[in-house]
């Protein structure tokens, strides 16, 4: 069956429905939902029961890049700076030095045990060098895992920020395979330009997006997520146009936004959480359709060898070396090594050699697919078990709260105050979103001219307003008094 304009919506929606319904029961059997989506795509493919013919790497690459934008952006929005800050340099080291060491060690191994040239081996190593954000985010959060000593923010920071490094290495080594006469040192400026411009543009567009959200009155709450989606793609496209790293720019833009006070932040976070799941399903279904199982079977032996070396040698070596400057117990380093999940990102990156038309492109793609599949099956299904083995697991109730958790939880407020805004208050005319209230305090209601108003981010503070403020603790309420420039009541 060929995909046409007439049937693509029906086929796509049926596959999406099957994936969502099947995903509800998959974890009862310990199977990660992402693997299930992949298998559904393979079953629907040309060699499966569905018989859908799809053999277009360019389209798959486009869908992959589109999906990764949403997945990385959603992960960035959920990244709490307060929890990430203590492990920032550990995450940066893992996502740069760790990725480089993984690519080099695996590339040399492939070169020594196969007929791959050194550059072809390094290209394969680069493609599978990064942990997959979609796999790590979805599996850790679906299992509701709580880990000791900031392991979870370290793992999520690494998986969200290491795709740019893998992308740069993939493009660099692909260029060397296509043109072996090009010097390795010529790739160094490419790396620095990609990283520096990507980071700078990410924070710049994060600031611009925050300004647009809080200063432009769109009139309808539903338009704010649309605005953010537009700015997300503008961020990626501008970074790519200026030869920076678009993936890094998108992730850092989202990290900045996720830690700011935004109008309709609940709506934006909820929307992107749903879109990230949608894009994960679409991405894995597409990659499943692209795969021909009969072409993978001849490379099962080689794939197992590469996957085994990656999981048991290359990843641990990279983790231990990149974390040498940091004080950390050995068992925690081993657990970080085990959470080196490979998923859809390496498969997307494997489409670049296919489009470049290099000799071993098909072999690389099939090996990468097998490596990703075995990684999610072996590592993804055992994260909880291995966490217990290494004594790094905590009870689920100890799970740290993410920004999206705080936005949708019904936390009990232990103190309430009615605060009156006098004529000399410096915040008159300001919007609620610009007050920078602590996360543990909210304006539940505003009494104005004898009527009660529900406050939101766009509500302006006026003279005579009586604010009903709820706070979780006394410290948060005292912070509110300080922000509003109102003296706290005298203690009785």
Residue 248: give the domain boundaries. Answer: 8-403
Low-confidence stretches of the chain (pLDDT < 50) are 28-30, 403-404, 406-411, 492
Phi, psi (degrees; rounded to nearest 5) at 135:
-70, -45
Residues 346 and 422 in one domain: no
- Total number of domains constituting the chain: 2
Q: What is the spatial distance between Cα 14 and Cα 10, in angstroms, rounded to a whole number? A: 6
- The answer to whether residues 77 and 13 belong to one domain is yes
Q: Which residue, 403, 421, 456, sits at the end of a domain?
A: 403
Are both 88 and 148 inside the same structural domain? yes
Smallest CA-to-CA distance from 162 within 245, 253, 70 is with: 245
Measured CA distances, 378 to 129, 308, 399 (Å): 17, 11, 24
Q: Are residues 170 and 289 in the same domain?
A: yes
Q: Whose CA is closest to 165, among 255, 63, 108, 245?
A: 245
3-state secondary structure (DSSP) of residue 445: strand
Q: Does residue 289 sit in the same domain as residue 428?
A: no
Q: Quick one: which of 115, 122, 73, 83 has its CA closest to 99?
A: 122
For the entire predicted model, the pTM comes to 0.78
Question: Would you state the structure tokens that stand for residue 18, as one six-digit string?
Answer: 């099957």
Under 8 Å between Cβ of 91 and 159 = no
In a domain, 277, yes or no: yes
* Residue 489, domain member (yes or no): no
Do residues 138 and 156 lie in contact, with contact meaning Cβ atoms separated by under 8 Å?
Answer: no
Residue 2: inside a domain: no
Q: Within a domain: residue 142?
A: yes
Q: Residue 463: inside a domain, yes or no?
A: yes
* DSSP notation for 126-172: HHT-SPPHHHHHHHHHHTT-EESTTHHHHHHHHHHHSHHHHHHHHHH
* CATH assignment at residue 308: 1.20.1530.20
| Residues 6+ positions from 18 with CB-CB distance below 8 Å | 40
Look at residues 373, 248, 392, 242 and name the one whose alpha carbon lies nearest to residue 306: 373
The CATH number linked to 429 is: 3.30.70.1450
> Of 476, 467, 438, 79, which Cα lies nearest the Cα of 253?
79
Pair type for strands 393-394 and 146-147: antiparallel
The DSSP code sequence of 370-400 is: HHHHHHHHHTGGGHHHHHHHTT-EE-GGGPP
The answer to whether residue 1 sits within a structural domain is: no
For residue 467, being part of any structural domain is answered with yes
Pair (441, 388) in one structural domain: no
In this structure, the answer to whether residues 351 and 455 fall within a common structural domain is no
Separation CA 386–CA 369 (nearest Å): 24
On whether residue 169 sits in a domain, the answer given is yes
Among residues 459, 397, 380, the alpha carbon closest in space to that of 32 is found at 380
Which among 403, 425, 452 is the end of a domain?
403
- DSSP type of residue 130: S
| 337 and 356 belong to one structural domain | yes
Does one domain contain both 43 and 156? yes
Same domain, yes or no: 128 and 185: yes
454 shares its domain with 329: no
Residues 177, 243, single domain; the answer is yes
């Amino acid at each position: 069956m060929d995909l046409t304009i007439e049937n693509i919506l029906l086929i796509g929606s049926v596959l999406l429905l099957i994936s969502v319904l099947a995903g509800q029961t998959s974890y009862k059997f310990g199977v990660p939902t992402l693997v299930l989506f992949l298998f559904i795509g393979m079953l629907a493919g040309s060699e499966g029961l569905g018989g859908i013919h799809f053999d277009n790497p360019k389209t798959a690459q486009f869908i992959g890049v589109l999906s990764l934008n949403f997945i990385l952006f959603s992960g960035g929005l959920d990244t709490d700076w307060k929890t990430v800050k203590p492990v920032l340099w550990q995450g940066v080291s893992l996502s740069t030095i760790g990725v480089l060491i993984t690519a080099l060690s695996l590339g040399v191994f492939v070169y020594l045990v196969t007929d791959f040239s050194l550059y072809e081996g390094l290209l394969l190593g680069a493609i599978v060098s990064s942990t997959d954000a979609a796999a790590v985010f979805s599996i850790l959060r679906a299992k509701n895992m709580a880990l000791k000593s900031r392991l979870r923010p370290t793992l999520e920071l690494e998986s969200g920020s290491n795709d740019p490094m893998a992308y740069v290495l993939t493009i660099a080594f692909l260029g060397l395979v296509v043109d072996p006469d090009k010097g390795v040192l010529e790739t160094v400026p490419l790396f620095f330009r990609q990283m520096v411009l990507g980071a700078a543009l990410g924070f710049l567009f994060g600031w611009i997006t925050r300004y647009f959200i809080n200063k432009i009155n769109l009139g309808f709450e539903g338009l704010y997520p649309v605005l953010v989606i537009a700015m997300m793609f503008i961020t990626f496209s501008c970074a790519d146009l200026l030869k920076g790293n678009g993936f890094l720019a998108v992730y850092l833009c989202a990290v900045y936004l996720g830690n700011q006070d935004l109008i309709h932040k609940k709506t934006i976070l909820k929307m992107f959480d749903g879109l990230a799941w949608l894009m994960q399903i679409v991405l894995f279904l597409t990659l499943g359709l692209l795969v021909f199982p009969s072409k993978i079977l001849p490379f099962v032996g080689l794939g197992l060898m590469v996957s085994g070396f990656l999981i048991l040698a290359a990843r641990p070596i990279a983790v231990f070396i990149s974390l040498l400057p940091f004080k950390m117990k050995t068992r925690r380093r081993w657990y970080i090594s085990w959470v080196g999940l490979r998923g859809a990102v390496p498969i997307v990156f494997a489409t670049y050699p296919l489009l470049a038309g290099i000799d071993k492109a098909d072999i690389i793609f099939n090996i990468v697919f097998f490596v990703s599949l075995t990684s999610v099956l072996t590592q993804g299904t055992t994260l909880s078990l291995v966490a217990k083995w290494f004594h790094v697991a905590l009870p689920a109730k100890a799970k740290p709260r993410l920004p999206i958790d705080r936005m949708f939880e019904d936390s009990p407020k232990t103190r309430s105050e009615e605060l009156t805004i006098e004529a000399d208050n410096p915040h008159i005319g300001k919007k609620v979103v610009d007050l920078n209230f602590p996360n543990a305090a909210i304006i539940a209601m505003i009494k104005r001219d004898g009527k009660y108003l529900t406050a939101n981010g766009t509500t302006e503070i006026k003279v005579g307003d009586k604010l009903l403020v709820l706070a979780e603790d006394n410290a948060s309420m005292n912070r509110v008094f300080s922000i509003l420039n109102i003296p706290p009541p005298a203690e009785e």
